[in-house]
């Protein structure tokens, strides 16, 4: 697993000084004073182009091709861009490796993406190089960002582009790691001592895929709020729209918020603490029917909660089921905002209608219906059940990302941490809990699993960040300490962010939890 025997920690400063000396001897050999590493080799792929550009530090640093300052505190770095293809696919995969010139900490950090974007480049790479990591990101041959629809999914004849799907599903991060490691070794004159992967959402799914398919790529993986079982999760994210479509009722955000406030009031104290947070959404049994007949003011109007409103909320919380009542996947946790998955909109003229989560709607349009312009507002229970079954059957092998057999990752010495907000409004945390339990079953129980894979649940925290609860402050540091010094974390330091009261705390290692009178137990 480890690519070198250099020990980082007490020797960090000498390593950085040595790297500075290595770089200074070759500053004049490349564009902008950067050395040009040798062209990497990747089996099954062909390198189309490679460039090296120097980027100054601090606020003068310019993001590649964007012409904007990247951020303060960024050290001078060299940006190595590699473009490759997989004949005969004719794709063009871009990989960027950012290399701090004189502040390298001896480590490599690969970064993940979000939604249908395999990588986030500047957003992910800036904090990595700021902390001294040589870092990399990739677009998997699918240019765009987390808000872009997956136009790459379909060929002109509207068949699925299996090659680009493979890039997105599992191949891109593995190949990025192979390319980046060669670039790093050529640039600094030595390989990275340790390699890490960090990602949330789609990035969390990519981290799991790495542990499952390529267990020797990374010493440590931080796979947060992972989009586990993508082929089931993504259609499940569309379930709230189906429920509203069938009912012919589309509640306002104000009405949905009233149900959440009532649920929090009812279940806040279940963990023994009154802090405005549902500590255990899975045990919250608040019945939305209790609000039927109550009135509330929304945008200057008085609205009365109906039985139809309550039934919609109940079905969204319960999650998708077949028409026979069999569970298909998990639902939105009580306390999580409805705004992403159960969004609605009111045009100037006409009635209120659904505003589906783009990732879920695009998965259905591009990968299941293969009709990019299809109006999905007509999808009801019968069609949803058929689409869900197709998604589960057709895409499990390529993007299921939920194989619980992590024996090869464990044997390679790998360590993995996952944290997940319990008020996640996009990816249901019960899916993470389900995966952890299945890993325990496959790997010899909870104690054996804890030796290499630990999960931390964050009450009140939204998708990847924010919310009323404490968010992990530096989970990567905990992972590094575990990998390099053998100190497995029992808690993750955390603090609230944004407009919420500034509080700090610690997230408990699953299945432990904190109560009013006892810490994690």
pLDDT digits (tens, 9 = 90+) for 187-199: 999 999 999 999 9
Question: 398, 418, 433: which is the final residue of a domain?
Answer: 398
Nearest 5 degrees, angle CA 74-CA 77-CA 79?
120
> What is the distance between the alpha carbons of residues 62 and 1, in angstroms, rounded to a whole number?
35
> Do 387 and 425 sit in the same domain of this protein?
no
Cα angle for residues 175, 192, 8 (degrees, 5° grid): 145
Same domain, 449 and 363: no
Asked if 292 and 246 touch (Cβ cutoff 8 Å), the reply is no
What CATH number did the domain enclosing 510 receive?
A: 3.40.50
The answer to whether residues 51 and 169 belong to one domain is: yes
- Render the burial of 7-38: b for 16+ CB within 10 Å, e for the rest: ebeeebeebbebbeebbeeeeeebeebbbbbe
The pLDDT value given to residue 348 = 85
Same domain, 220 and 243: no
pLDDT (0 to 100) of residue 146: 87
Please tell me which residue in 86, 250, 420, 463 is annotated as part of the active site: 463
d(CA 65, CA 68): 9
If one counts the domains in the chain, the total is 3
Using only C-alpha atoms, the chain has a radius of gyration, in whole angstroms, of 24
Catalytic residue among 177, 201, 337, 401: 201
Six-digit token pair at 11?
């020797």
One domain for residues 202 and 308: no
**373, 398, 423 — which closes off a domain?**
398
CB 105 within 8 Å of CB 194: no
Taking CA 89 as the corner, what is the angle to CA 200 and CA 208, rounded to the nearest 5 degrees?
20
Q: What is the pLDDT of residue 163?
A: 97
Last residue of a domain, one of 398, 430, 465: 398
As a whole number of angstroms, the distance between CA 103 and CA 301 comes to: 58
**287 has catalytic annotation:** no
**Do 46 and 123 share a structural domain?**
yes
Q: Measure the CA–CA gap between 144 and 139, rounded to whole angstroms.
A: 8
Q: Is 201 a catalytic site residue?
A: yes
Residues 219 and 283 in one domain: no
Give the H/E segment covering residue 453: strand 453-458
Q: For the whole model, what pTM was predicted?
A: 0.91
| Residue 326: domain span | 234-398
Write the DSSP string, 106-170.
SEEEEE--BTTBS--THHHHHHHHHTT-EEEEE-TT----TTS--GGGB-TTS-B-HHHHHIIII
pLDDT of residue 3: 45
Q: Do 422 and 459 sit in the same domain of this protein?
A: yes
463 in catalytic set:
yes
pLDDT given at position 518: 73
Same domain, 375 and 451: no
Task: Give me the pLDDT at residue 18, please.
Answer: 34
Residues 6+ apart with CB under 8 A from 484: 7, 8, 9, 194
State how far the alpha carbon of 334 is from the alpha carbons of 284, 319, 446, in Å.
7, 11, 27
Please count the CA atoms within 13 angstroms of the CA of 509 that sit on its side-chain side.
Answer: 15
In this prediction, residue 501 carries a pLDDT of 66
Statement to judge: residues 367 and 413 lie in one domain: no
Residues 133 and 30 in one domain: yes
One domain, residues 75 and 185: yes
Per-residue pLDDT of the chain (521 residues; tens, 9 = 90+): 544 433 333 333 333 333 333 333 333 344 678 988 899 999 999 999 999 999 987 644 444 444 445 456 899 999 999 999 999 999 999 999 999 999 999 999 999 999 999 999 999 999 999 999 999 999 999 988 889 999 999 999 999 999 999 999 999 999 999 999 999 999 999 999 999 999 999 999 999 999 999 999 999 999 999 999 999 999 999 999 999 999 999 999 999 999 999 999 999 988 878 888 999 999 999 999 999 999 999 989 999 999 999 999 999 999 999 999 999 999 999 999 999 999 999 888 888 999 999 999 999 999 999 999 999 999 999 999 999 999 999 999 999 999 999 999 999 999 999 999 999 999 999 999 999 999 999 999 999 999 999 999 999 999 999 999 999 999 999 999 999 999 999 999 999 876 666 677 899 999 998 776 678 88
């Amino acid at each position: 697993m480890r690519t070198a025997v250099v020990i980082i920690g007490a020797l960090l400063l000498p390593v950085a000084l040595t790297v500075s000396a290595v770089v200074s001897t070759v500053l004049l050999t490349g564009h902008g004073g950067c050395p040009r590493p040798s062209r990497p080799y990747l089996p099954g792929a062909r390198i189309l182009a490679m460039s090296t550009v120097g980027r100054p530090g601090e606020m003068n640093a310019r993001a590649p091709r964007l012409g904007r300052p990247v951020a303060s505190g960024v050290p001078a770095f060299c940006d190595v861009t590699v473009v490759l293809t997989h004949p005969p696919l004719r794709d063009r995969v871009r990989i960027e490796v950012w290399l701090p010139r004189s502040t390298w900490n001896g480590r490599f950090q690969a970064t993940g993406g979000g939604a249908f974007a395999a990588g986030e480049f500047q957003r992910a790479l800036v904090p990595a190089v700021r902390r001294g990591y040589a870092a990399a990101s990739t677009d998997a041959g699918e240019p765009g960002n987390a808000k872009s629809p997956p136009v790459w999914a379909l060929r002109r004849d509207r068949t699925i582009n299996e090659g680009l799907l493979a890039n997105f599903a599992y191949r891109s991060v593995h190949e990025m790691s192979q390319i980046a490691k060669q670039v790093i070794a050529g640039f600094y004159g030595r390989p990275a001592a340790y390699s890490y992967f960090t990602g949330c959402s789609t990035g969390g799914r990519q981290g799991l895929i790495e542990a499952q398919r390529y267990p020797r790529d990374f010493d440590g993986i931080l796979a947060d709020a992972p989009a586990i079982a993508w082929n089931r999760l993504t259609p499940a994210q569309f379930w709230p729209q189906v429920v509203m479509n069938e009912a012919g009722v589309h509640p306002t955000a104000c009405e949905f918020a009233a149900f959440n406030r009532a649920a929090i009031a009812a279940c806040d104290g279940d963990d023994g603490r009154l802090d405005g947070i549902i500590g255990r959404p899975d045990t919250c049994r608040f019945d939305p029917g209790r609000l039927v007949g109550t009135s509330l003011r929304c945008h200057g109007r008085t609205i009365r909660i109906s039985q139809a409103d309550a039934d919609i909320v109940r079905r969204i919380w319960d999650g998708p089921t077949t028409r026979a009542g069999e569970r298909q996947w998990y639902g939105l946790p009580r306390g999580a905002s409805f705004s992403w998955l159960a969004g609605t909109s009111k045009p100037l003229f006409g009635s209120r209608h659904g505003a589906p989560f783009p990732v879920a709607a695009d998965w259905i349009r591009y990968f299941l219906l293969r009709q990019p312009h299809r109006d999905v507002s007509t999808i009801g229970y019968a069609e949803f059940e058929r689409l869900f079954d197709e998604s589960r059957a057709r895409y499990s092998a390529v993007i299921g990302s939920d194989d619980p057999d992590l024996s090869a990752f464990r044997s390679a010495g790998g360590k993995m941490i996952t944290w997940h907000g319990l008020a996640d409004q996009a990816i249901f945390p019960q899916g993470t809990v389900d995966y952890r339990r299945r890993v325990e079953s496959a790997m010899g129980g909870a104690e054996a699993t804890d030796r290499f894979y630990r999960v931390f649940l964050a009450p009140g925290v939204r998708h990847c960040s924010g919310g009323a609860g404490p968010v992990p402050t530096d989970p990567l540091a905990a992972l590094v300490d575990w990998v390099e010094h053998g100190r497995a974390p029992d808690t993750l330091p955390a603090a609230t962010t944004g407009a919420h009261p500034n509080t700090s705390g610690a997230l408990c290692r699953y299945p432990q939890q904190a109560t009013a009178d006892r810490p994690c137990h």
